[in-house]
Amino acid sequence: MERHLYQSLLRWKNSSRRKPLLLKGARQTGKTYLLNEFGRMEYDSCIFINFEKDPSAADFFSDRLDVTELVRNLSIYTGQKIRPERDLIVFDEIQVSNRALSSLKYFQEQAPEYHIAAAGSLLGITVSGPGSFPVGKVNFLDLYPLSFLEFLQAVGAQELKELIQSTQSPEPYAEPLHKELLRHLRWYYFTGGMPEAVSHFASSGDLDEVREIQNEILESYVLDFAKYAAGPDIPKLRMVWDSLPAQLSKENKKFVFSVLKKSARLRDFDNPIQWLEKAGLIHRVFRITAAKRPLKAYAEENIFKMYALDIGLLGAMAGISADILVRGDMIFREFEGALVENYVVQELKAAKGMDLYYWESKGSAEVDFVCEVSDSIYPLEAKAGVNPRRKSLLSFDQKFNPPCLGRTSQLNLKRDGRILNIPLYAVSLFPVQVDNKSSAPKPGSDDDHI
C-alpha cells in the first residue's frame, strides 16, 4: 500500500544531516508496515526489534549505552550482521523501553553512520516524559491514517488520484469524473484511512467486516488508556473519548465540558485531553480572536472543537450504518456535517501537517477553518451539501482581506469571484496548489522534521 511519506523517508536516508528517525503516529496507522517496506526496498537488510513482542530485547539497553556494544549484541541476537549505511535498524514500539529511546542520542553522537528508525504508538507521550532523549538528536516524522488520495491508490483508482494531483488551476473536472470521485468519497467516509480497514475493503468490499476491524481498533485504544495513562486519568479519558460523537453532533460543534458531566471545567480534563492529543487520537481546532499572524498567538486555549484521528473510526463510534452513510438518509444529514469537518481536518493534517483554527464574529458568522501558509492566512468553509452559504466567508473577507476565500463542498472545482470552490475529494489541494503556488512552504525547512 503506497504511502506518501515514503518519499520523506528517502529524503531522510539521503540527507547529509540525517539523525535517528522517530516515526510517530497512533496505533495501527501503518508505522510497522511502512518501515518494513522501506527497509526491504532501500537497504540490503532490515534488522527489526519489536520491544512489545520481544520484551527481553530491552535488556540490552539496561546497562551503559555504548553503541559499539549495542550493535554487536543486537547483531548476535538477531543473527544478522549490521553494517553502516547498508542496513536499516528498526526499533518498533520503542515507547516500551525508555532506555532504548535514550540510546538514539548516543547513536547520533557516537555512530551517525548507522541508519536507525524507531516507531511507537504513544511516542507523543513518551518523548514528553521524564528520562527521554535530549531535543535535537532525532528527526521526527508523523504518520496519519491514509488520506483520500492514498485510499484511491489502494482501491485501484490510480487515474483518479493522478487527476487530482495534476490540478494546476481552478478548472472544473469533467462531470462524469466528478461524480465518480464523489462516489469514492462516500466509501471513504465509511472506511476511513486506517490501513487494515482500507486493505480489507479493497480486497473484499465487505463493509460489515470493515466495521468489525474499526471496532477492534477502538478497543485497542481503550486498552492503551489502562496500560499507559495515569490511573486517575483513565475514567476521564474514556469520558472525553466517548463524548466525541455527541460533541460533534451539535450545530456549532464546540467542545462543551458539561456534556461530560455537570459543572466540569477545562482544568478538570486538561491532562486527559492532552494525553489523547499526544497519543495522536484527536485533533483540536482552537477559536481565534483575530486572523492575524501568528494565528497561535490569537488562539483561545479554553475554546476549541475536537475531532477524531479518523473519519471511519468516528463513524464506528457513532454507530452509523453503511446503508445510511453510503446511500444517504435525511436522518443522517445533521451528523454528516460533523463527518465532513472531521474529514477536512484529517486531510489537511495528512497532506500538510497544518495547524487549523476557527473564527467567529460575535455569533453572527463563523468560518469553519482558518490556516496559516507561509506569509498568508486563508479561511476555509466546509459544507456537506451543494448549496453552501457565503455570509461567513464574506464577513471574514471584509474584516481580514485574505488572498482568497476557500470553500469545500460537493460542488465541482471552480472560482466564483473571490471564492475558490474546491470539491471535498480535492481539499488536500487547498490552498496553494490551485491559488498561490509561490506561497507553498519549502519541504524539509525544519532540520528536525523531515
Q: What is the pLDDT of residue 129?
A: 54
Query: Which grid cell sits at 185?
Result: 468519497
Q: Please report the sign of the dihedral spanned by the C-alpha atoms of residue 172, residue 162, residue 337, residue 394.
A: negative
Q: How high is the mean pLDDT in each 10-residue block of the chain (450 residues)?
A: 82 95 94 95 97 95 92 96 97 92 93 96 68 74 96 97 95 97 95 97 96 98 92 95 95 92 91 95 97 96 97 96 72 78 96 93 88 93 84 94 94 93 96 59 42
Query: Which grid cell sits at 101?
Result: 529511546
Helix (H) or strand (E) holding 215: helix 207-228
What is the side-by-side strand order in the sheet with 21-24?
A: 45-50, 87-92, 115-120, 21-24, 139-142
360: how many CB neighbours lie within 10 A of its CB?
Answer: 16
The one-letter amino acid at 250: K
Residue ranges covered by each domain of the chain: 6-142, 148-439
Q: What is the pLDDT of residue 126?
A: 64
Contact predicate 138/21, CB 8 Å: yes
Nearby residues of 365 by Cβ (< 8 Å), 6 or more positions away: 391, 392, 395, 396
pTM confidence score: 0.92
Q: What is the pLDDT of residue 280?
A: 95
Q: What is the pLDDT of residue 334?
A: 67
Q: Where are the alpha helices (DSSP H) in 79-206?
A: 98-110, 123-126, 148-154, 158-165, 175-191, 195-204
The one-letter amino acid at 323: D
446 burial (CB, 10 Å; 0-12 / 13-18 / 19+) is exposed
- How far apart, in whole angstroms, are the C-alpha atoms of residue 210 and residue 423? 26
- Nearest Cα to Cα of residue 291 among 351, 361, 340, 349: 361
pLDDT tens-digit series, residues 387-408: 777 889 999 999 999 999 999 9
Contact predicate 225/237, CB 8 Å: yes
Q: What is the pLDDT of residue 80?
A: 96
Three-state DSSP state, 309: coil
* Kind of pairing between the strands at 299-308 and 356-360: unpaired
Specify the CATH architecture of the domain 6-142. Answer: 3-Layer(aba) Sandwich (3.40)
Helix (H) or strand (E) holding 282: strand 282-288
Residue with cell 513482542: 53
Nearby residues of 171 by Cβ (< 8 Å), 6 or more positions away: 413, 414
